[in-house]
Amino acid sequence: MKATPAQKVAIRKALKKAKASLAKVTVQVKKITVNVRGKRSAAIKAKIASIKAKIAKAKSPERRAALKAQLKVAKKIAALRKALKAAPEAKKLAIKAKINRANAQLKAATKTV
- What's residue 30's pLDDT? 79
- What's residue 28's pLDDT? 83
Query: Can you give the length of the chain in residues?
Result: 113
Q: What is the residue type of 69?
A: A
Where in the chain are the domains?
5-112
pLDDT values of the chain reduced to their tens digit, one per residue, 113 residues: 688 999 999 999 999 999 999 988 888 887 776 666 566 777 888 899 999 999 999 999 999 999 999 999 999 999 998 888 888 989 999 999 999 999 899 888 887 66
- What's residue 36's pLDDT? 61
